[in-house]
C-alpha cells in the first residue's frame, strides 16, 4: 500500500494540525497512583490538567513497520515536592525504542531498566534529543516554571504497558530539594 498519500502536518509551536490529530488531557484525577505524597495529592483539584498529548496515528495501532508521533505538553506544578509528570510506561513489545525531542521548557526524562533495579534521568532542554532504548520504562517530568513540550516518535506496534508501572512504579522519584530536581529512592 505504498500509494497512500499521508497529509503533511503542521506544528505551530503549541499546536499540531493538518491531519486527524488525537488529543487527550490527563488530569490529577486520572493519575491517582503515580504521585508519592498521598496527602498532598488529596488536597489538590482532581480536574487540574497535568499534561496534554496531541498524537498522529497514520496506521492502525499495532501495525508493524509504521511510526507514530506525539507532542506532549506538561504543565508546571508539583504534588508535594514531586514534579508534575506523565504516567510512564514500558512498551508492550519490550524491544521497541522511541525518540524524544524537547522543544520548550525544562524537564527530566526518567528511565528505568526492565527489572526495575536501576532508575536514572536525563535533563531535557529545548533542542535536546533523547534515544530511549527498548526494554526501558520512560516518563517525563516538568521541572521548570513554564510548559515543557517535547515530540515523541515510536513504532506503531510498540504498544503501551501502563500496568507494570501502576503496580510497581519507578524505583526512584524526582523531587524538588531546595530548588534542585533530585532523584531519590521511593519513600
Q: Which residues bind ligand M6P (CB under 6 A)?
A: 53, 70, 72, 86-89, 98, 152, 154, 160
| Contact partner at residue 143 from ligand M6P, Zn ion, none, CB < 5 to 8 Å by partner kind | none
- Do residues 49 and 25 make contact, with C-beta atoms less than 8 angstroms apart? yes
Helix, coil or strand: residue 31: coil
| Contact partner at residue 87 from ligand M6P, Zn ion, none, CB < 5 to 8 Å by partner kind | ligand M6P
Helix, coil or strand: residue 165: helix
CA–CA separation, 30 and 22 (whole Å): 18
Interaction between residue 157 and Zn ion (CB under 5 A): no
Comparison of 143 and 177: residue with beta carbon closer to ligand M6P: 143
CB-based closest residue to Zn ion: 98
Residue 6 CA, distance from chain mean position? 26
CA–CA separation, 23 and 20 (whole Å): 10
Comparison of 65 and 179: residue with beta carbon closer to ligand M6P: 65
Minimal distance in Å, beta carbon 69 to Zn ion?
12
| Contact partner at residue 72 from Zn ion, ligand M6P, none, CB < 5 to 8 Å by partner kind | ligand M6P
Minimal distance in Å, beta carbon 74 to ligand M6P?
9
Comparison of 84 and 175: residue with beta carbon closer to ligand M6P: 84
Contact pattern from residue 81 through residue 110 relative to Zn ion, giving x for each residue in contact according to CB under 5 A and a dash for the rest = -----------------x------------
Cell numbers standing for residue 143: 521541572
Secondary element (H or E) of residue 163: helix 163-168
- Do residues 85 and 174 make contact, with C-beta atoms less than 8 angstroms apart? yes
- Do residues 147 and 13 make contact, with C-beta atoms less than 8 angstroms apart? no
Summarize as ranges the residues that interact with Zn ion (CB under 5 A).
98
Amino acid at each position: 500500500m505504498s500509494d497512500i498519500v499521508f497529509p503533511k502536518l503542521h506544528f505551530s509551536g503549541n499546536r499540531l494540525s493538518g491531519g486527524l490529530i488525537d488529543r487527550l488531557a490527563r488530569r490529577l484525577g486520572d493519575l491517582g497512583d503515580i504521585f508519592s505524597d498521598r496527602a498532598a495529592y488529596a488536597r489538590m483539584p482532581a480536574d487540574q490538567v497535568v499534561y496534554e498529548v496531541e498524537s498522529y496515528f497514520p496506521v492502525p495501532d499495532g501495525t508493524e513497520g509504521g511510526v507514530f508521533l506525539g507532542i506532549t505538553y506538561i504543565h508546571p506544578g508539583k504534588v508535594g515536592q514531586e514534579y508534575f509528570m506523565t504516567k510512564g510506561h514500558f512498551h508492550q513489545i519490550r524491544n521497541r525504542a522511541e525518540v524524544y525531542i524537547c522543544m520548550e521548557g525544562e524537564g527530566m526524562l526518567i528511565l528505568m531498566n526492565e527489572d526495575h533495579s536501576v532508575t536514572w534521568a536525563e535533563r531535557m532542554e529545548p533542542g535536546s534529543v533523547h534515544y530511549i532504548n527498548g526494554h526501558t520504562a520512560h516518563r517525563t517530568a516538568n521541572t521548570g516554571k513554564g510548559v515543557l513540550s517535547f515530540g515523541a516518535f515510536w513504532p506503531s506496534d510498540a504498544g503501551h504497558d501502563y500496568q507494570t508501572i501502576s503496580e510497581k512504579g519507578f524505583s526512584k522519584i524526582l523531587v524538588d530539594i531546595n530548588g534542585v530536581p533530585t532523584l531519590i529512592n521511593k519513600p
